[in-house]
Amino acid sequence: MRLDPDELAAAGPFSKAERAAVYRAIETRRDVRGEFLPQRVPDAAIARLLEAAHHAPSVGLMQPWNFIVIRDLDRRRAIRDIVMRRNDEAAAMFEDERAAAYQRLKLEGIVEAPLNICVTCDRGRGGKVVLGRTHQRDTDLLSTACAVQNLFLAARAEGIGVGWVSIFEPDDLRPVLGLPDAVVPVAYLCVGYVAELFRRPELEARKWSKRLDLESLVFAEGWGSAWAFPEVG
């Protein structure tokens, strides 16, 4: 296949200010649960978030995602009720003090947020054989997760908070959202403006967990051999 030269553009780093903005969005992104403001998110802002999500990388350019924008309060209440039932099941999986700590956590803002977005993956998109998916079937799900991350980062740049709700079985949402058989929900997102964000991830601030040391997670050439991090000066 011949490539049109006009398809290529010069590569190079962003400016210092542009790089700083990208890293700031990454480092200050937070999963929002209880800090939503009632202010409506304009359709133009939603469109920008979805455009950013749609520019995510996808294996074989399969673009398996769809986005369901949900404002209707009754529909959100129905989904909140599903999550609450599943949350009770999840709480029973923890023991003693951990169970009590789990019950104190707020893990969703489905009704408090003025907007929900369900990001789905069409597992049949692209047909039976998709470039890059021939040996790793779940690359469609992984590609959809990349779209979710893009949406998170774009939202941070817009001053919009996003909370990822995952306490449900995928089939739980099927009747509420009318999902076809081949389509699975990958992320259910609560979206809205926020006045404040946690300086650290909320679960770290609330002593549930903490960020792992990066140096312990990076190996050189193979598993278990530590990579030598450069001196920061």
Instruction: Read off the pLDDT of residues 12-33 as tens digits, 9 standing for 90 and up.
Output: 999 999 999 999 999 999 999 8
Q: 196 or 120: whose pLDDT is higher?
A: 120
- Give dist(CA 95, CA 159) in Å, integer: 37
- pLDDT mean over 131-135: 93
How would residue 3 be classed by pLDDT, with cut points 50, 70 and 90? confident
Buried/exposed code over 145-184 (b: 16+ C-beta within 10 A; e: otherwise)? bbbbebbbbbbbebebbbbbbebbeeebbeeebebeeebb
Looking at residue 195, what is its pLDDT?
87
Contact between 188 and 113 (Cβ < 8 Å): no
In the chain, where the domains are located: 30-198
Question: Considering the entire predicted model, what is its pTM?
Answer: 0.93
Is 90 exceeded by the pLDDT of residue 5? no
- Give dist(CA 191, CA 163) in Å, integer: 7
DSSP strand pairing (115-122 vs 183-193): antiparallel
Residue in the structure block whose two tokens are 């799900």: 141
How would residue 233 be classed by pLDDT, with cut points 50, 70 and 90? low
Length of the chain (residues): 233
- Give dist(CA 187, CA 150) in Å, integer: 13
Contact between 64 and 140 (Cβ < 8 Å): yes
Contact between 107 and 34 (Cβ < 8 Å): no
Is 80 exceeded by the pLDDT of residue 120? yes
Is 70 exceeded by the pLDDT of residue 121? yes
For the segment 73-91, what is each residue's pLDDT rounded down to a tens digit? 999 999 999 999 999 899 8
Looking at residue 229, what is its pLDDT?
93
Among 1.20.1250.20, 3.40.50.300, 1.10.1760.20, 3.40.109.10, what is the CATH number of 30-198? 3.40.109.10
For the segment 186-221, what is each residue's pLDDT rounded down to a tens digit? 999 999 999 899 899 888 988 889 999 999 999 999
For the segment 50-59, what is each residue's pLDDT rounded down to a tens digit? 999 999 999 9
Looking at residue 99, what is its pLDDT?
87
Q: 66 or 5: whose pLDDT is higher?
A: 66
Structure tokens at 170: 């995928």
Neighbours of 8 (CB within 10 A): 8
Contact between 212 and 174 (Cβ < 8 Å): no
